[in-house]
Amino acid sequence: MEDAAPPRAAGGPGAPDGRRPVRRVPLPPLLAALLIALPLSLVCGVRFGAAGLSWGEVLRFLGAGLTGGTIASDEVSAYTIVWELRFPRALLAAVVGAGLAGIGVAVQAMVRNALADPFVLGISSGAAVGANAVLLFGALSGLGIWALSSAAFGSALISMVLVYAAARTPQGLTPLRLVLTGTAMYYGFSAITTLMVFSAERGEAGRAAMMWLLGSLGGANWQSLPIAACAVAGGLAHLLWSARRLNALAMGDETAAALGVDARRLRGELFLITAAVTGAVVAVSGAIGFVGLMVPHVARMLVGADHRRVLVVAPLLGAILLVWVDIISRVLLAPVELPVGVITAVVGVPCFVLLMRRRGYTFGGA
């Protein structure tokens, strides 16, 4: 396959539309800054919360947990908060944010739609059906702590199969059919979820279901973290390996074919990766919106449209963003915890509008 060049920016000196060229940030210093900001954000995610802890305590307890050190008997409670509650939660926020941002890049390339995000395929709403079956009716109770994530992931896979079967044609998957089928499935699964909520008994179960539907990292633990981390790492690794093919796909099916890329086959691969990673992420965090929509655009604005650069920057941006969103959700109205999806929408909507109003920016690297 020929090396596919990234899509060219729409604006520039002498461009017919008169827009100014967008200045790009050099990748090495940006990458260095993000790699420094991420661990600092994780430490802040452990430091801030309803229970007050000093910076010294946080660093000491994290060091003890990472190195197997000892703590005093009167510090067990604070250590438990740091190591068993906040640290896995901060790590899960980073994993989920990275996964949603990376998959957002893939979905926008797959359907060639600037408004697409990981939930456009209806997989998140499918996962909600399984999760609510556990939260509201006690389904799969025999699985214990694995019941919620197992049910959500299983129903996400079922929704993936349904979307794939409905959208596939003898010629393969096409962007328009994927978007239309995913949207239809989204409304169908959402209707089922709403029916389940209204038919169940009110109370704490209903509140837990609503928190999950709006996104929550409150169930983070060391048992659920590795599964999500492995799914996200595997998906992002494959996307990075396919970055040149994504560049070709972004320029249209005919151009991709001229460059030796089978657009239909690649679109099928992207669909499977998107479904698997989205299902794994939604199973542990609920439906957190806007990260997969907004972060890819910010990454393109910073480094251009080349997927070899975007797929490095976007996951780091998504990880840092969601760690801080989770911090805000816990401290804004402490001790009450807000749904993470509410914060991402409140922060994301004005940021996205400002981004779209920025002169010289269009989808695909302008």
Neighbour tally for 253: CB within 10 Å: 18
Please give the structure tokens belonging to residue 349. 């909507």
Can the peptide bond before residue 118 be classed as cis, meaning omega within 30 degrees of 0?
no
Strand, helix or coil at 222? coil
Alpha helices in the chain (DSSP H): 27-47, 55-67, 76-80, 87-111, 123-137, 147-167, 175-199, 204-213, 225-241, 243-250, 253-258, 263-285, 291-303, 307-331, 340-357
Q: Six-digit token pair at 202?
A: 């009110």
With bands split at pLDDT 50, 70 and 90, how would you rate the model's confidence at 5? Answer: low
Q: What mean pLDDT is predicted for residues 63-82?
A: 88
- CATH class belonging to 92-357: mainly alpha
Task: Yes or no: say if 319 and 38 are a contact pair by the CB < 8 Å rule.
Answer: yes
At 172-212, the pLDDT tens digits run: 777 788 888 888 988 899 899 888 888 777 666 677 777 77
Stretch 74-79: mean pLDDT: 88
How far from the centroid of its chain's Cα atoms is residue 105's Cα? Answer: 10
The residue among 343, 318, 330 whose CA lies nearest residue 214 is 343
Q: Report which of residues 241 and 118 the model is more confident about.
A: 241
Average pLDDT over residues 109-133: 82
Q: Is a pLDDT exceeding 50 seen at residue 79?
A: yes
Read off the pTM.
0.86
pLDDT at res. 234: 95
Residue 356 pLDDT exceeds 70: no
Whole-number average pLDDT of the chain: 84
194 and 62 in contact (C-beta within 8 Å)?
A: no
pLDDT class for 15, splitting at 50, 70, 90?
A: very low
CA–CA distance, 291 with 343 (Å, rounded to integer):
11
Contact by Cβ (8 Å): 293, 255: no
Write down the pLDDT at residue 93. 96
Instruction: Assess whether pLDDT exceeds 50 at residue 350.
Output: yes
Residue bearing tokens 């090396």? 3
Whether 292 shows a pLDDT value over 70: the answer reads yes
pLDDT bucket at 133, cuts 50 / 70 / 90 = confident
Instruction: Give mean pLDDT, residues 151-161.
Output: 84
- Indicate whether 355 pLDDT > 70: no
**Res 57 pLDDT > 60:** yes
Q: Is the pLDDT of residue 116 over 70?
A: yes
| Range 273-279 average pLDDT | 86
What pLDDT, on the 0 to 100 scale, is given for residue 233? 96
Q: Which residue in the block uniquely carries the two structure tokens 């269009």?
A: 362
Beta bridge partners of 169: 172
Q: Which residues pair with 172 in a beta bridge?
A: 169
pLDDT of residue 101: 95
